[in-house]
Amino acid sequence: MGLALTDPTRGPYLTTTMQRIDHPLLSQSLGSNKSISSFHFGTQGASPKVYIQASLHAEELPGMLVAHHLRAMLEVAQAAGLIQGEIVVVPVANPIGLAQRLDHKPMGRFELDSSENFNRHYPDLAAAVWPVVQTRLGQDASANVATVRQAVGEYLHHWVPATELQSLRRTLLTLSHDADLVLDLHCDCEGVMHFYCEESCWAPLEPLARLIGSEAILLAKNSGSGPFDECLSGTWWKLAELLNDAGLDRPLPQGCCSTTIELRGELDVSHAYAQTDAQAIYAYLQLVQVIGSAPGAPAPVIPPFKCQPTPLAGSQTLRAPAPGVVVFAAEVGQTMAIGDLVAEVIDPINNQTHRVLAEVAGPLYARIRDRYITSGGELAKIAGATPFRTGELLGD
């Protein structure tokens, strides 16, 4: 099985060994410098190109370990001459957040200087390049993909970051903007394996969701807030809509398909999990023919679904009706029916117990790790099948 993810305009530059490149970030303070390290496999400029990064939310560590094990597998494939395309791996996507600690606790989700989420507020690349590409696109779909990628590359080249955070965003986008497939490895507080994906990307990524054993698959056209993965994949369907709105009949394929993979919970850091997940990703890389199979080796087998996709707009976020001690009655992965007890919030001062019930049916795919909650705080999430939410679908 393979995907037609080719770009004949990319000029091949053969690399026979893995290459490490360190990308310095803008320093905002004297004597303080951070960098992002990327590891490159295969042939630079070859198709398909796959970009994989881990721990953009820096306290979410399972992806780092998966990247560690995947890198070892890719080095073997590289030495055997099996890599047919280009693969870029960034095992530590957020050195800024990784260095942030407060009272011995990691603070890797939000930048302390700006309070911005590290996985939000990426630029609208479609809006940025539309004035440039609208008169350059023609009737050749492959040439149009190359034109858009070139325009995005030029935009990123001319973007002068004003902060360390902006330089991190620019570096990650520069490494990934011309990728056919992008895998962004995250995890939840406590959770089962789950998978976020834009609707336009679902068909090519469906085998990956099955290979990793996803127990919740959450689809949206546009979840809002500008996360990293949708910054890349959203460029293509947004430009296609702009072409249609302008009455321009120009073929523009979905040039990048991206996903956020939630590798269970923050404490699910083990070699057993990471090796299994790395093997699943490696099998997917074989399926999309960025990696060839060794002679006589069996082709990867795609397992059946563990769940059916549901709309992100149908996901219920349960919130605490009052402050107190959290006692969960439901485990992650448990299938909930409407009215089932998910958790109790105990107020020991007023001797009150507040029951939190499921309002949609579906798997409880994530919950908080802390066991004290303030009023209105998020407790857990259930993947319902019927959309009911609008607007910004992602949490903070």
Q: Check whether residue 333 and residue 189 sit in a common domain.
A: no
Read off the pTM.
0.95
Cis peptide bond N-terminal to 8, omega within 30? no
CATH of the domain at 50: 3.40.630.10
**Do 45 and 151 belong to one domain?**
yes
Distance from C-alpha of 200 to C-alpha of 188, rounded to nearest angstrom: 24
Per-residue pLDDT tens digits for 193-225 = 999 999 999 999 999 999 999 999 999 999 999
Q: Looking at residues 23-31, what average pLDDT do you find? A: 94
- Please, which residues bridge with residue 341 across strands? 357
pLDDT tens, residue by residue, 100-118: 999 999 999 999 999 999 9
pLDDT of residue 47: 95
- The range of the structural domain enclosing residue 253 comes to 13-287
Q: Do residues 112 and 160 share a domain? A: yes
Residue 261 shares a structural domain with residue 378: no
Same domain, 203 and 158: yes
The answer to whether the CB of 384 falls within 8 A of the CB of 360 is yes
pLDDT given for residue 241 in this prediction: 98
Instruction: Report the pLDDT value the prediction gives residue 4, as an integer from 0 to 100.
Output: 36
For residues 49 and 92, membership in a common domain is answered with: yes
Structural domain contains residue 303 = no
| Residue 307: alpha-carbon gap to chain centroid | 19
Residues 44 and 119 in one domain: yes
The pLDDT > 90 percentage for the chain reads 91
Q: What's the confidence (pLDDT) of residue 295?
A: 86
Instruction: State the average pLDDT over residues 23-36.
Output: 95
- What is the tens place of the pLDDT at every residue in 2-19? 343 434 444 444 456 899
Please give the single-letter amino acid code of residue 20.
R
Any domain includes 137: yes
pLDDT digit string, tens, across residues 351-380: 999 999 999 999 999 999 999 999 999 999
Say whether both 277 and 350 belong to one domain. no
Whether residue 259 contacts residue 205, with contact meaning beta carbons closer than 8 Å, is answered with yes
According to the model, what pLDDT value does residue 71 have?
98
- What does the block give as tokens for 391? 């607007």
Q: At what angle do helices 228-245 and 125-133 cross, to 10 degrees?
A: 40
Do residues 320 and 374 touch, judged by C-beta distance below 8 A? yes
Across residues 113-125, what is the average pLDDT?
97
pLDDT, average across residues 383-390:
96
Residues 134 and 261 both lie in one domain: yes
242: number of Cβ within 10 Å: 16
Kindly report, residue by residue over 301-347, the tens digit of the pLDDT. Answer: 999 999 999 999 999 999 999 999 999 999 999 999 999 999 999 99
**Is 319 in the same domain as 258?**
no
Model pLDDT, residue 392: 86
> DSSP label at 302?
P
The confidence score (pLDDT) of residue 12 equals: 43
Q: What is the pLDDT of residue 316?
A: 97
Q: What is the DSSP letter of 291?
A: B
- What average pLDDT is seen over the chain? 95
Report the pLDDT value the prediction gives residue 16, as an integer from 0 to 100: 66
